[in-house]
Structure 1
């Protein structure tokens, strides 16, 4: 057995490229039947596949189906919990069925790189694109691209052009606010995320829906930036003025808000009930443990992959599928004290 294959059952496309003395892009072009490949180069790649005993692998399937068995993923704001968790869930789901992931990340101050990311992923010979696109501005840039590849978008709002999947953000926010209303709260403030984000807009919409359905006043929301520091700044100077509960658009802002309240002597939940969104792994260890909305990212990754494969197989029907979130009740919420 070749040393490269020893101890590994599933060498990657990069291993094949190294064995053949070519780039991974060249291997991808061979797998996709690209005509502008020298016969000698094509032969070296195929020989490398054979020498690595990879006949039952994803590369063998790629040769049979003319696919690279690779999905390109463009990730906007990858450091945020939602986009990062979605990417990891998609990677896990893809790995289970023999697909690999190539990801290109766009940070908050690099939206101009979206075009570069699309070009890089397409030149790798991917079978489809998945766009984890939390911001409307990023998707507006992407709409100007024409790749010819099946494209799936992970975002909360429906799209008329692309397949899309998402956790139902509006339903999750409605669950959170309804929980507070059922506890007897009649004035619920919302700390929203930045409203360029689809998730933030849907969560604010769910907050409004729940208050309107209950016939309660809808105060002006406070738009934040997802960070604990923002929540802390609001909590430190917070004057309730009749507000008995706060729905924060994510757990990090909720954490900072609770900290700020504590510094000025207000208690959670005795003085103010607080609900977050996401169910961070540490949310159950906040003081007090945080009532929040859990997003099932593993299910989201599997659903996104199903749509991607269906699109690769030729399903042109544009559809929008949702994963239902779940309310997790802990001790940061209680009935109002007065």
Structure 2
């Protein structure tokens, strides 16, 4: 098997330079980096991670604690973490937890610590209480962190409060007097944040706050909520905490003779792959799962490898409102010269950066 010294000889550099390139260290020119990588590819060289672990005292592995679920949000975030890890040189060790098991997170963390991971990612969306296991490696929490002791705890994630506020304000900007909310289960951190963002938007616009209907993330629970909301003729706009519930809600409204968006506008959350293809295509907020995972893993690796330095702050992921055909002005709203509007602004997907204050590029 080729060794690093063989790569150095072929590339015309020192063995230390080869090490710097494969450790992704700074102060290596682009030309030298390219020569080293080309030489390594030509020789079929691969770095020996086991030897590096013995030399550095690190296993070059990161543990991930995540809820074992097929739900779109947690599953997409885990896939984003797996994709981002490929560029870090660290292996992932994933332990799944089960909803309703308060000891599950502590057990998962304990298992990963026993395997000697260099850092831990907590991608646990449900509030299961405090973690009693003391953690002696850096921890990255994707969202609200559970309470536990660790040398350094960092957080990353999209601002769900802001995203929910953007979704609600889109409906208020269209002229709806208020917006009803189909919330997710309140043991989930994200459901609480989306509820808070909805309330903040209503308060900023001096809108009445209707009673909250709570679902369980499923389309079936959205359908049940839709049957409840359909009998209230004053309902003209609904923000659902995820797309699956929004899709079930739309079906229930249609079954009750309430047209979307002619009678009721609906906004979802996540932008699931099927969202553009339901009837009508669903207006929603897109979650930046890959950007969150990439920035978070970058931050965690920096802390693992340079514990004496303050980590660079993670950049805020973009906020995207994807406007489709499920939203329009309320039935009583008229547009001068055009009469009552009964269709959305566009049947095409439009999306772009959004802010909680003021109009967005999609709000023409």
TM-score normalised per structure 2? 0.73
8 A Cα contact 2:133 2:148, kept in partner:
no
Contact persistence 1:62–1:68 (CA under 8 A): yes
Which deviates the most, 252-261 or 101-110? 101-110
- Is 1:215 the counterpart of 2:209? The answer is no
C-alpha distance 223-320 of structure 1, shift in aligned 2 (>3 A): farther
Q: Provide the aligned length of Structure 1 versus Structure 2.
A: 284
1:196 aligned to 2:184? Answer: no
Q: Cα 1:316–1:118, aligned 2, differ >3 Å: closer, same or farther?
A: farther
5+ residue gaps, structure 1, are: 2-52
1:136 alignment partner, SS class: coil
Alignment-derived partner of residue 243 in structure 1: 235
Counterpart check, 1:300 vs 2:300: no
SS of corresponding position for 1:279: coil
Aligned to 1:332: 326
Question: What do you get for the CA RMSD once the two structures are aligned?
Answer: 2.3
Shift of 1:157: 7.2
Supply the distance in 1 between the matched residues of 2:101 and 2:148 (Cα, whole angstroms): 26
Counterpart of 1:116 (choices 101, 104, 107) is: 107
User: Structure 1 or 2: larger helix share?
Assistant: 1
Matched with 1:68 is 59
Residues 86-97 of structure 1 aligned to structure 2 (within 5 Å): 86-97=77-88
Partners of 1:121 and 1:128 lie apart in 2 by 9
- For residue 147 of structure 1, the aligned residue among 135, 158, 165 is 135
In structure 2, relative to structure 1, the CA distance for the partners of 1:80 and 1:303 (3 Å cut) is same
* Alignment correspondent of 2:254: 262
Counterpart of 1:47 in structure 2 is none
TM-score, normalized by length of structure 1?
A: 0.78
> Is contact 1:190-1:221 (8 Å) kept?
yes
Q: 1:314 aligns with which of 302, 307, 311?
A: 307
Equivalent-residue separation in structure 1 for 2:233 and 2:257 (angstroms): 15
1:99 aligns with 2:93: no
Paired residue secondary structure (1:175): helix
Is the Cα contact below 8 Å between 1:247 and 1:274 reproduced in 2? yes
Q: 1:157 to 1:293 in 2, by over 3 A?
A: farther
The gaps in structure 2 that reach 5 residues or longer are 2-43, 333-364
On the 8 A contact 1:187/1:242 being kept in 2, the answer is no
Q: Kindly indicate whether structure 1 or structure 2 has the higher relative contact order, using CA contacts under 8 Å at least 6 residues apart.
A: 1
